[in-house]
Amino acid sequence: MNRKDEHVTLALEQAEHTKQNDFDQIQLIHHSLGSIDVEQVDISTQIGSIPLEIPFFINAMTGGSEWTKDINAKLGYVAKQTGIAIATGSMSAALKDDSLWDSFTVVRDVNPNGLVFANINPNISVEDAQIAIQKVQGKALQIHLNAAQEIVMSEGDRSFSHWRSNIKAHLQSHKVDVIVKEVGMGMSGQTIKELIDLDVKIIDISGRGGTNFVSIENARKGNSQMNYMANWGQSSVQSLLEALPYLSQVDIIASGGIRNALDMVKSFVLGAKAIGISGVILQSVMNQGVEATIQMIENWQQDLIKIMALLGARTILDLRKVDVVLSLELQHYLKSREINKY
Ligand SMILES: Cc1cc2nc3c(=O)[nH]c(=O)nc-3n(C[C@H](O)[C@H](O)[C@H](O)COP(=O)(O)O)c2cc1C
């Protein structure tokens, strides 16, 4: 089976999104006297120069085969019908094999006016990235950092030392916003600071707690067996805590293990400006179908508004003022990492 097809098949088998994760370690304090009305809530946000009417989007997943072309057509249609942004999967394969382009460009074809983000790995040249952006008329370029995934893959990359200089070159060259993202292993404060120093304005911390690429790679036949690495990295919540000192310098996207509107609200409370969701949407599209997925996304939008009203937050930024209690485990994390908040 093609590697892209294997990734989707194995991601569909993962039950991570039905399990507890670190978002369950956060309690938002309920105040009984409501202070605002549902109709006063505004969920719009902005990442870099990109305004988003709806603050969550379909994060990077797939493309690169006939089956994933079909999936991208479905995901693109869901994005169009709900008005949310969508990222393609890594377009690196199509940059090597022209016949694969239509499995990515279908996202744009079915959604001519929507917000689409192109996605590449950090080895791709500036010129090739420009082709990728142009192919889907991308409003942003996502560059994914997946060192842990490469390390557990038998055929994975083994050299990473050029990533910083390549990211710098991208930042100096593109007209569109650049988003640097993880793929589910989360980020440290040090990584976030280094990216800010490179002039990155939007970071997706994509942490542990949802789709697990170490497990996916280990489940692929013939791959090295490093399943003991399945808990590698920081959870999405830990990564958001790591990002707290840097919120005035960079826009943070939360992704990794987002299951519902409450996880989104908790991410905004911890400083995120937008949310990316992959696994839950993929599973819904493939198991429940396109129409049910559109309904789920519309429900999330309404749920987000309702929970914000309950918390007295008119805007996404107001959520940062919400009273929150972290579990002892998360408090221990904050203390060990010397992060002074909460
Ligand atoms: C099938 C599948 C393929 C993915 N491929 C990519 C990719 O090509 N590029 C990328 O940046 N992230 C990729 N991701 C990672 C997601 O964008 C996201 O960071 C990760 O899945 C965590 O979010 P989740 O828990 O909501 O799935 C993929 C995820 C899935 C489920």
**Cα 268 to middle of ligand 1, angstroms:** 20
The pLDDT, as a whole number, for residue 277 is 98
From the CA of 16, give the closest atom in ligand 1.
Answer: 25
**Cα 120 to middle of ligand 1, angstroms:** 12
Where residue 213 falls among pLDDT bands split at 50, 70, 90? Answer: very high
Q: What is the pLDDT of residues 250-276, one digit of tens each?
A: 999 999 999 999 999 999 999 999 999
Check pocket membership of 90 for ligand 1, CB cut-off 6 A.
yes
Where residue 43 falls among pLDDT bands split at 50, 70, 90? Answer: very high
From the CA of 276, give the closest atom in ligand 1.
Answer: 26
**Cα 60 to middle of ligand 1, angstroms:** 5
Best mutation site among 278, 282, 300 for ligand 1 pocket (most ligand atoms within 8 Å of CB):
278
Instruction: Judge whether residue 205 has pLDDT over 70.
Output: yes
**Cα 7 to middle of ligand 1, angstroms:** 9
Cβ neighbours of 329 (radius 10 Å): 10
Question: What pTM value is reported for the model?
Answer: 0.98
Q: Which two tokens stand for residue 333?
A: 């994390």
| Cα separations in angstroms, 253 against 55, 81, 181, 309, 312 | 10, 23, 9, 22, 22
Q: What is the pLDDT of residues 275-329, one digit of tens each?
A: 999 999 999 999 999 999 999 999 999 999 999 999 999 999 999 999 999 999 9
The pLDDT, as a whole number, for residue 342 is 65
The domain 3-336 belongs to what CATH superfamily?
Aldolase class I (3.20.20.70)
Distance CA 129, CA 179 (A): 13
Q: Which two tokens stand for residue 158?
A: 């083994």
DSSP assignment of 230-267 equals: TT-S-BHHHHHHHHGGGTTTSEEEEESS--SHHHHHHH
Whole-number average pLDDT of the chain: 96
Amino acid (1-letter code) at residue 105: T
Instruction: Judge whether residue 168 has pLDDT over 90.
Output: yes
The pLDDT, as a whole number, for residue 222 is 73
Check pocket membership of 278 for ligand 1, CB cut-off 6 A.
yes
Q: What is the pLDDT of residues 47-101, one digit of tens each?
A: 999 999 999 999 999 999 999 999 999 999 999 999 999 999 999 999 999 999 9
Instruction: Judge whether residue 125 has pLDDT over 90.
Output: yes
From the CA of 60, give the closest atom in ligand 1.
Answer: 17
Which residues contact residue 216 at a Cβ distance below 8 angstroms, ignoring those fewer than 6 apart? 7, 10, 11, 14
Instruction: Judge whether residue 113 has pLDDT over 90.
Output: yes
**Domain residue ranges of the chain, discontinuous segments joined by +:** 3-336
